[in-house]
Amino acid sequence: MSSIQTEIERRRTFAIISHPDAGKTTITEKFLWYGGVVREAGHVKAKSNKKFAMSDWMKIEQQRGISVTSSAISFPFRDCHINLLDTPGHQDFCEDTFRALTAVDSALVMIDSTKGVEAQTIKLMNVCRMRNTPIIIFMNKLDLDGRDAIELMDEVEKVLGIKPVPMSLPIGNGKLFQGVYSLIDNTVHFFNRDEAKQSIAKVSGLDDPKLDEWFEAKYLAELRERAELVQGAMESFDRDRYLKGEIGPLYFGSAIRNFGVKQLLDSIVEIAPSPVARLADERLVQATEPNFTGFVFKIQANTDPKHRDRIAYIRICSGKFERGNKALHCKTGKPVRLAAPTQFMANNKTVIDVAYAGDIFGVHDPGTFAIGDTLSESESLRFQGIPDFAPEHFVKVWLTDPMKSKQMTQGLRQLSEEGATQLFYPLSSPAPILGVVGELQFDVIKFRLEEEYLAKCRFEPVNVAVVRWITGTAKEIEKFKEEHSQDVARDKRDGLAYLCPNAFRLATVQKNYPNLQFLEVSERYGAN
């Protein structure tokens, strides 16, 4: 095997998805500790001491205590190179998470065992299902009085629509949590709140008499009953089916007590896929092809307020990338030099010399890139695009200080290129309209316009409920524009959008203009 192939095969690129508070930050910190990236395995986001997780690095995130942008973190574990994409759990930032999920090969779903499957997890899981992303499930907070293990697994199957395959089963629960029994290798992992006192022992099977010495009869009876039920009714682990996204191996543990976390990481190394082939319009691109290809999945401006900068995050789809290499920017057909490829450990940047398929790196972006752009060493390709989701909330933006008009225009343009908001310029009014999927995004935009661009703005409610992108013949479009000039706007790529006050009106308009198409999703890369 060539050294490029070996490097690619040891990559694991995944994201953690969960509902807020399920423990994603906590487990990320433990992973980083196992990777030797942080010295302390402590939960550094503890509100009590006002410290924050390294992945929660934007000022706004610190103020609100939620993850707003996705950052990528790399660390070594065993003989693997792991790329972990952090994703905002808050529902108002789901667009960012959707995009991050296009850049990973698998996902870890964290579920709070005291609550079961929650709303945001369902939404994100739907995206994973659309892409058949392989899923590993971690049932967290077993140290708390949680819900019954079997009931939780049932809920995963019914609500998340994926067949869970328990790799371990809990012994006891909550305050009486004793540990887990691994159904894969017949080991018992003894729980202790004190991490140093946790231990693992091998047994011959569920009827090994050693278990009777270690645990009270009631716990054992429950464990054996659960095991019987599971073995009778549930799927057994089959890696091919996991890779197709049909079954989800499931582990029980406690992130904060570092219980079951190493076993989870072991499992990611052992079963999660190395970089998978990616579909471009032209052909399927194998990760192990020697030529570099990749796509931009995220753009972020002003990561460092001291230096005005803009970073494009690229997921490498195939081959090897070397610092300073030129690549073809497929959309424009022009070569671009990717001068200082950077990997991120929260806000610590390291310039890298080489990177391989599966890796994520950032490059300084002078305004060349847009989300979804393909980069390629030689051949012109177009990886499948990342959709713009139809926004659900809208406001009109008025500048409060007319001297800052340039700053506001620049800020809005950059924030929309980052995907933080969608921007519409009505044909009939000078004030731009912002559209977002989650309302909290407005607060972030307002904050960032003021903080980063020094443009104080006022947001005014606007009577828009749905947006549809319009396509059709020039003549029909002209007619439509004349008749609906009050509700028609240009988006940032000059695409024509109908900003419609209500669904009823939309239905009428669709009936009146049968030759026009009213599209719910605008594919980012398609226009221009």
Query: Which residues contact ligand G4P (rule: CB under 6 A)?
Result: 18, 20-26, 43, 45-48, 89, 140-141, 143-144, 254-257
CB of 54 to ligand G4P, least distance (A): 12
- Rounded to a whole number of angstroms, the minimum distance from the CB of residue 250 to ligand G4P is 16
* Least distance from ligand G4P to the Cβ atom of residue 191, Å: 11
Q: Decide: 498 and 507 in contact? Cβ < 8 Å.
A: no
* Residue 365 CA from chain centroid, whole number: 22
The nearer residue to ligand G4P, 59 or 239, going by C-beta atoms, is 59
β-sheet bridge partners, residue 280: 383
Min separation Cβ 257 and ligand G4P, Å: 6
CA distance 59 to 447: 10
Cβ 121 to ligand G4P shortest distance, Å:
10
CB of 146 to ligand G4P, least distance (A): 9
The C-alpha atoms of residue 22 and residue 25 are separated, in whole angstroms, by 9
The smaller minimum CB distance to ligand G4P, of residues 255 and 328, is found at: 255
CB nearer to ligand G4P: pick between 24 and 396: 24
CA–CA separation, 15 and 104 (whole Å)? 6
Backbone φ/ψ region at 85: left (φ over 0), alpha (ψ -120 to 50), beta: beta
Identify which of residues 252 and 321 has a Cβ nearer to ligand G4P in the complex: 252
| Smallest distance, ligand G4P to C-beta of residue 440, A | 15
Least distance CB 16 / ligand G4P (angstroms): 8
- Going 38 to 32 to 101 to 141, the CA torsion angle's sign is negative
The residue with tokens 């809005």 is 412
Residue number with CB closer to ligand G4P (259 or 394): 259
Give whichever of 265 and 489 is closer to ligand G4P, judged by the CB atom.
265
Nearest CB to ligand G4P, comparing residues 170 and 435: 170
Distances (CA, A) of 48 to 39, 45, 51, 130, 227: 20, 9, 8, 39, 40
Q: Using CA atoms, how far apart are residues 310 and 301, in angstroms rounded to an integer?
A: 4
Q: In angstroms, give the least distance from the CB of 133 to ligand G4P.
A: 19
* Strands, E assignment, 238-381: 247-252, 278-279, 284-285, 293-301, 310-318, 320-322, 326-329, 334-337, 342-345, 348-351, 354-356, 360-364, 374-376
Q: Could you tell me the smallest distance in angstroms from the CB atom of residue 110 to ligand G4P?
A: 6
Give the CA distances from residue 80 to residues 7, 251, 276, 503, in Å, rounded to whole numbers and listed in that order.
Answer: 9, 21, 16, 50
We find the least distance from the C-beta atom of residue 71 to ligand G4P, in angstroms, to be 13
If the CB atoms of residues 20 and 501 are measured against ligand G4P, the closer one turns out to be: 20
Say if residues 292 and 325 touch (Cβ distance below 8 Å).
Answer: yes
Cβ proximity to ligand G4P: between 64 and 224 the closer is 64
> How many other β-carbons are positioned within 10 Å of the β-carbon of residue 36?
10
Helix, strand, coil fractions of the chain, as percent rounded to 5? 30, 30, 40
Which residues touch 283 (CB under 8 Å, ≥6 apart)? 381
Residue 81 C-beta: closest distance to ligand G4P, Å: 24
Q: Quick one: 62 or 471, whose CB is closer to ligand G4P? A: 62
* Amino acid letter, residue 289: E
Q: Quickly list DSSP for 342-363.
A: EEEETTEEEE-SEEETT-EEEE
Q: Cβ closer to ligand G4P: 67 or 374? A: 67
Amino acid occupying residue 273 = P
C-beta of 280 vs 444, nearer to ligand G4P: 444
Cα separation, 24 vs 109, whole angstroms: 9
